[in-house]
Amino acid sequence: MSLTLESAVRVDKDGKLVLGGKGPSPKKLVEVWSDRVGLGRPVFELYPLEEADAWCTARPFLHAMLTETICGMFQIFDEAAVELLENAIRIRGRGAWRQFSAAADGVGYVTSFLGCFADDLDDDRFLRASVGEMLLRAVSIEKFVDRAYDEQAAKKSNLEAGGQSAK
């Protein structure tokens, strides 16, 4: 386990938190992502905590893909091009997806993730399939929300009420 600033905090003889010393460690108020165990734990054997790039790109990508109900990440982008990218990641062989990666250039955390884990995506077909599926679902949700919005924006009652969002 690596020594971190958080692990150096101690409780002194007066019950105050101090940095360093021989007192006991305080009880943690919250579970830090890096301390998770079991399913969903970070795999520090493959990507050490000190490798900030890997964790700084993986966490926002996974958070958006797995916890956001509607992330709106492809709002202005060419969804067909992103679909081509995700299908290339899911279905095509090692490295074949790279020629389509520009489709995600405007979505910072997707671009960062793909750039940081490009070699891993090439080496691990299960990772490629998983990432492709997540991107596929994100675009599917995006299209669903776009259609629902367009339907509501075009309703006569909304237009009569002063709505001006219809195309």
Domain boundaries, the chain: 1-31, 51-152
- Model confidence, pTM: 0.64
Q: Which residue has better confidence, 146 or 127?
A: 127
Residue 106, φ and ψ in degrees, nearest 5: -85, -5
Decide: helix, strand or coil at residue 80.
Answer: helix
Residue 26, φ and ψ in degrees, nearest 5: -70, 155
Q: Which residue has better confidence, 42 or 127?
A: 127
Q: Is the pLDDT of residue 5 over 80?
A: no
What is the model's pLDDT at position 60?
A: 81
